[in-house]
Amino acid sequence: MSEWDPIGCGVPDDEYDSYIPGIYQMMQLQSDVDKLSAYLQHVETKLIGLPARPEVNLRVAKILLHLWDIHSSNDPEPIA
């Protein structure tokens, strides 16, 4: 997903693949947008060691949860 690229310098396509299981699990557990955003921020600040980008993480969390809704139902809510 090109929307979330904390390193942002042309990293390999699989650079962030190791974080997918944690994100997927949070979505399966129906985490809310704030919790998913906080997890993305944890990854970029604690695991990758970069500055926080809360506005980007919130936007990406909304996109991910919207995609999850589309996958899980036939009547998704629009992205806010």
pLDDT digits (tens), the chain, 80 positions: 678 888 888 788 888 999 999 999 999 999 999 999 999 999 999 999 999 999 999 999 999 999 998 888 765 556 65
Rounded-to-integer distance, Cα 15 and Cα 7, Å:
9
Rounded-to-integer distance, Cα 23 and Cα 77, Å:
20
Structure tokens at 74: 């036939």
Say which DSSP state 6 is in: S
Q: Domain locations in the chain?
A: 17-72
pTM greater than 0.85:
no
Residue 51 Cα distances to 9, 12, 63, angstroms: 15, 20, 21
